Amino acid sequence: GNSVTQMEGPVTLSEEAFLTINCTYTATGYPSLFWYVQYPGEGLQLLLKATKADDKGSNKGFEATYRKETTSFHLEKGSVQVSDSAVYFCALYAGGTSYGKLTFGQGTILTVHP
Amino acid sequence: DVKVTQSSRYLVKRTGEKVFLECVQDMDHENMFWYRQDPGLGLRLIYFSYDVKMKEKGDIPEGYSVSREKKERFSLILESASTNQTSMYLCASSFGRFFAGTDTQYFGPGTRLTVL
């Protein structure tokens, strides 16, 4: 079956530090890959996505590259801010007859200190 | 912008009560989903619907049912609430399988349910 594995958190960084959150996946075929972000007290928001190998998704200074050879979609940001403190979810969409169902990772809590 | 709304942000109910959680989307999406979110367990899919009156079980349907009488509205029902159903409940929607963008889900703000 399909699965997504995220690095375990929580992750604590100082402002302006470099961020990497690892995500690897298992899926048949060619899934679409996503990062969602959940700010405190809110629902999930789409942060970025990539739909095929070597695609790079980017938004708000965050980037992730779809690496089929390593089945990975690691999230990076060069300089984090306090406002980036949130829970980050990696997810995949396998397509076919899945009716839009996503498979989510466990989530990684990020805390950024001033 | 896509808007997914949930009827309550916070809800407190007693064990044995019947509980209704409502979700409405305004983008004419075919697919709608209910998840629960618990610390350390991520998001778990309870039920989903790909059309009016159609529903499919997700990974943890026990103790829940759903209703979709209109395209824009998807209700989650706890027939007899129990303390182990205390959780954050998230609703989401997406376009149908024959549309571009069917892969992207849009989430509501969540309902934090406490069962005493």
Number of Cβ atoms within 10 Å of the Cβ of A93: 23
Confidence of residue B42 (pLDDT cuts 50, 70, 90): confident
In chain B, the residue whose alpha carbon lies closest to the alpha carbon of A37 is B107
Kindly report whether the peptide bond that precedes residue A10 is cis, defined as omega within 30 degrees of 0: yes
Whether the CA torsion B9, A83, A108, B26 is positive or negative: it is positive
pLDDT digits (tens, 9 = 90+) for A38-89: 998 889 999 999 988 999 999 999 999 999 999 999 999 999 999 999 999 9
> Across all residues in chain B, what is the average pLDDT?
91
B47 touches chain A (CB under 8 A): no
Contact A51 B103 (CB under 8 A): yes
Contact B103 A89 (CB under 8 A): no
Q: Where are the beta strands (DSSP E) in chain B?
A: 4-6, 10-13, 19-25, 31-38, 42-51, 54-57, 64-70, 73-78, 87-94, 106-107, 111-115
Contact A45 B50 (CB under 8 A): no
The alpha carbon of residue A84 and the mean position of all alpha carbons in its chain are separated, in whole angstroms, by: 13
Which of B87, B103, B104 is the best substitution to test chain A (most A C-beta atoms within 10 A)?
B103
